[in-house]
Amino acid sequence: MDRRVFMKSGAMALATMGLSPSFLRRTVFAQDLLNGAAAHGNGRGKVLIVLFQRGAADALNVVVPFGEKSYYAMRPTIAVPAPVSGTAQSAIDLDGFFGLHPALAPFKRLWDDGILAPVHAVGSPSNTRSHFDAQDYMESGTPDNKGTRDGWLNRYLAVKGTCDECKIHDTKGGLVSSPFQAVSMTPQTPRILEGPAASVAMNSLDEFTIRTTGTQAEAIEALYMTGSSDVVHAAGGEMFEAMKILKAANPQKYQPDNAADYPRSPFGQHLKQIAQLIKADVGLEVAFADVGGWDTHVNQGGATGQLANRLDDFSKSIGALTQDLGNRMADVTILTMSEFGRTAHQNGNGGTDHGHATAMFVIGGDVKGKKVHGKWPGLEPEQLNEGRDLALTTDFRSVFSEVAFKHLGAAKMDAVFPGFNGDQSNWVGLL
């Protein structure tokens, strides 16, 4: 097959393939990990959905400590009112001390069903207040180490090897590795999935780009040099098999189950397509999506306003996803994150500035719900980080490693999170 015909055929475009000399080093690194690890990875058909709130979401107005008097003293105009029966503009009571922002109303059903576990005062031990650096550290899994080449989700995939549940059937009935094992609903591969294990980045199921690394990258690199049809088949056969499955699933006519109603926002539609991939049984194990707009320096608002609008879309999208998946949520865990939190005191512009600890949500059938996890540090002046921020009591790697180990069945956590000494005794007990 002519190279140009191959590149133009179908609805698929191969792009940003990572064929720089560094990809050879990443491949060698992955092989070293495999040689030193028993690849007992996910053999149970489990799926992890990772959602990144880019811009630093305000933990104190997301999971509201309404039982803390200092909270209201610090935020005279943007604090979320304590729960009031029959009032939609107040916090949703969880346990008598913490409450959800009223815009997170769809999460109350998840809490009542026992599949929602908020984690408070969690984040990176790094003191950086740079969005770029903090996001990089959270996605690489190595705080304050800018030399890490790979994302922690990619390292997990590289260490664990390939499982039968992450394969698809070819036209002859055999099993082949699915290119949809790791999917990001983003225009480009996110930092968290950078590395030797192949992943797919797509804007939608109708048009997507492939981010190829490792052995597939070598095969496609050879394609450019030789134009061999054998190489084309070796590199692209699995992709075409997956394309056939997606075509059969008919993305444009997809109807969510259980009367789930996804917001028409890009984030809502991305979660809708993640649900479709799960139901299409294309071997999806890890899915990623992100959503911006959390950097609320000005006019943040309290029960209503800028942050409330973000949370409304966020919670309705996730709520629709869980409703759509129905019983499949027994094998799905959703993990939310943001690079850091915001200052405990509001600023002079009715907003909050870059802070330290934040809040996460873990949602799924394996989750120990109906509890706000993590050690609460308090908001008195002497309890704040640097006298201004919610203090950190849980390293984000404790959450990530517990989810990877207990939900996905990851092994060799020291390879997935190099330099992290947190053992199981430091895990939060989420799952």
pLDDT over threshold 70, residue 286:
yes
Query: Which tokens sit at 197?
Result: 């294990």
Q: Is residue 431 part of a domain?
A: no
pLDDT over threshold 90, residue 235:
no
Q: Which pLDDT score, from 0 to 100, does residue 180 have?
A: 84
Residues ≥6 apart with Cβ < 8 Å to 318: 51, 106, 107, 271, 334, 336, 363
**Portion of the chain with pLDDT greater than 70, in percent:** 75
- Write the secondary structure of 147-193 as one string of H (helix), E (strand) and C (coil): CCCCCHHHHHHHHHCCCHHHEEECCCCCEEECCCCEEECCCCCCHHH
Q: How confident is the model at residue 207 (pLDDT cuts 50, 70, 90)?
A: low
Distance linking the first and last C-alpha atoms of the chain: 50
Q: How confident is the model at residue 412 (pLDDT cuts 50, 70, 90)?
A: confident
Domain span holding position 305: 3-426
Q: Which pLDDT score, from 0 to 100, does residue 229 have?
A: 40
Residues 384-402, mean pLDDT to the nearest whole number: 97
Print burial letters for 342-375: b (CB count within 10 Å at least 16), e (below 16). bbbbbeeebbbbbbbbbbbbbbbbbbebebbbbe
268 in Cβ contact with 291 (< 8 Å): no
Question: For 292-393, where are the E strands, in sequence order?
Answer: 332-337, 358-364
- Total domains, the chain: 1
Q: How confident is the model at residue 252 (pLDDT cuts 50, 70, 90)?
A: confident
Residues 351-357, mean pLDDT to the nearest whole number: 98
pLDDT over threshold 60, residue 163:
no
| C-alpha pair distances (Å), 365 with each of 47, 326, 332, 354, 384 | 11, 10, 7, 33, 34
> Which position has the token pair 């039982």?
67
Q: Is residue 66 part of a domain?
A: yes
Instruction: Flag the least confident range among 33-42, 108-117, 181-190.
Output: 33-42
Q: Which pLDDT score, from 0 to 100, does residue 87 have?
A: 84
Q: Is residue 153 part of a domain?
A: yes
Residues 243-247, mean pLDDT to the nearest whole number: 67
Cα 377 to Cα 121: distance, rounded to the nearest angstrom: 7
Cα 193 to Cα 18: distance, rounded to the nearest angstrom: 12
| C-alpha pair distances (Å), 239 with each of 15, 64, 212, 230, 408 | 14, 45, 11, 15, 24
Best mean pLDDT range from 198-202, 246-250, 348-352: 348-352
Q: Which pLDDT score, from 0 to 100, does residue 6 have?
A: 39
Q: Which pLDDT score, from 0 to 100, does residue 86 have?
A: 74
Runs of H (alpha helix) within 227-262? 229-249
pLDDT over threshold 70, residue 354:
yes
Residues 86-110, mean pLDDT to the nearest whole number: 96
Cα 343 to Cα 129: distance, rounded to the nearest angstrom: 11
pTM of the model: 0.84
pLDDT, greater one: 100 or 160? 100
Chain centre distance of CA 259: 25
42 in Cβ contact with 291 (< 8 Å): no
pLDDT, greater one: 254 or 125? 125
Q: Which pLDDT score, from 0 to 100, does residue 242 have?
A: 61
Q: Which pLDDT score, from 0 to 100, does residue 26 have?
A: 36
Q: How confident is the model at residue 228 (pLDDT cuts 50, 70, 90)?
A: very low
199 in Cβ contact with 211 (< 8 Å): yes
Q: Is 48 helix (H, G, I), strand (E, B) or coil?
A: strand
pLDDT over threshold 90, residue 400:
yes
Q: Which pLDDT score, from 0 to 100, does residue 231 have?
A: 37
Q: Is residue 104 part of a domain?
A: yes
